[in-house]
Amino acid sequence: MSMNKENKQNPLFLLLIFVAGFTVFTFIGFVILGILLSLGILPAF
């Protein structure tokens, strides 16, 4: 696997950032949903 050091925008690095951001966003969403469920604001499924 040859790495090009002049390539500043590595697609794999950008993909990693996107996946990490999506994971954090989803985790925060689940935390907020859990808080709303525990407070009884949303009906428990």
| pTM of the predicted protein model | 0.53
> What pLDDT was estimated at residue 24?
97
Low-confidence ranges of the chain (pLDDT < 70): 1-8, 42-45
Output Rg (C-alpha) for the chain, integer angstroms. 18
Predicted pLDDT of residue 36? 85
**CA distances in angstroms from 16 to 10, 23, 30, listed in the order given:** 10, 10, 21
Pair 28, 21: CB distance under 8 Å: no
